[in-house]
Amino acid sequence: MGRAFEYRRAAKEKRWDKMSRVFPKLGKAITLAAKESGADPSTNAKLRTAIQNAKAENMPKDNIEAAIKRATQKDVSQFTQINYEGKGPHGVLIFVECATDNPTRTVANVKSYFNKAGGGLVPTGSLEYMFNRKSVFEINESVINNLEEIEFELIDYGCESVEKIGDTVFVYGDYTSFGSLTDGLEKNNIEIQKSNLERFPVNPIEFSETQLEDIEKMLDKIEEDDDIQFVFTNIA
């Protein structure tokens, strides 16, 4: 979804007390990363990223450590990552990434969110080509002296572009360059605030304020679900 729309939603979320829904998602990401490649962040880049994102949201250290420990529990192995695609109000395209221990429950819930909003799910893969998957890194502008120099330094690591929005610098690259870009930023002693793999619409669509209100109501319901990790749309 477009950066302007993302900032609007981020500002809205700051006004709401959403830690009760954010922390479980961050904890699940940490647990899954530790389960997949080990509990040592120094040798597990995915876990390092998950911890970094949790710290950026002020998740307490005890919560982070507890999430890592949960990776050794037997029931964690039942978690699977599933994507759902669909159309929402006013034809908006929505791509949902989930991590769940009960796919039957999750698909039923996701279907209900779409159906109640007048939309519906589409076959898996239908929207894949309508989004470009990118590596996205967020950096505080205070650690960047010159945007052009940083972009030049990171080109060999897979950097495609750099932009500044507010007091945050965004570094973009292909999704396959996530690891190399992480290495490049670390070698240049640039502290990463947050990083993720995100989906950007190939053809972003403008919606009216009234339409966006309808869409946001649906997105709010989707994002309240602990099984849902990320939601992407084709909103400009």
**Could you give the CA distance from residue 222 to residue 202 in angstroms, rounded to a whole number?**
23
* 145 shares a domain with 120: no
> Has residue 76 got a pLDDT over 80?
no
Question: What is the domain-level CATH number for residue 195?
Answer: 3.30.70.980
- Domain span holding position 147: 130-200
Q: What percent of the chain has pLDDT over 90?
A: 77
* 109 shares a domain with 97: yes
* 49 shares a domain with 59: yes
Query: What's the mean per-residue pLDDT of the chain?
Result: 90
Neighbours of 177 (CB within 10 A): 19
Please give the pLDDT value at position 16: 45
* 112 shares a domain with 211: yes
Kindly state the tokens that stand for 35. 């389960």
Question: What is the domain-level CATH number for residue 31?
Answer: 1.10.10.200
* 118 shares a domain with 139: no
* 196 shares a domain with 135: yes
How confident is residue 6, by pLDDT bands cut at 50, 70 and 90?
low
* 53 shares a domain with 27: yes
* 98 shares a domain with 40: no
Is residue 136 within 8 Å of 160, Cβ to Cβ? Answer: no
**Could you give the CA distance from residue 172 to residue 232 in angstroms, rounded to a whole number?**
16
> Has residue 54 got a pLDDT over 90?
yes
Pick the residue with more confidence: 14 or 176? 176
* 71 shares a domain with 83: no
Q: Exposed, middle or buried: residue 208 (CB in 10 Å: 0-12, 13-18, 19+)?
A: exposed
Instruction: Convert the pLDDT of each residue in 84-97 to its tens digit.
Output: 999 999 999 999 99
Q: How many domains does the chain have?
A: 3
* 123 shares a domain with 210: yes
Q: What is the pTM of this model?
A: 0.86
**Could you give the CA distance from residue 41 to residue 48 in angstroms, rounded to a whole number?**
5
* 98 shares a domain with 37: no
Please give the pLDDT value at position 107: 97
Is residue 36 within 8 Å of 5, Cβ to Cβ? Answer: no
Kindly state the tokens that stand for 125. 């893969």
Q: What is the mean pLDDT of residues 196-215?
A: 96
* 223 shares a domain with 123: yes
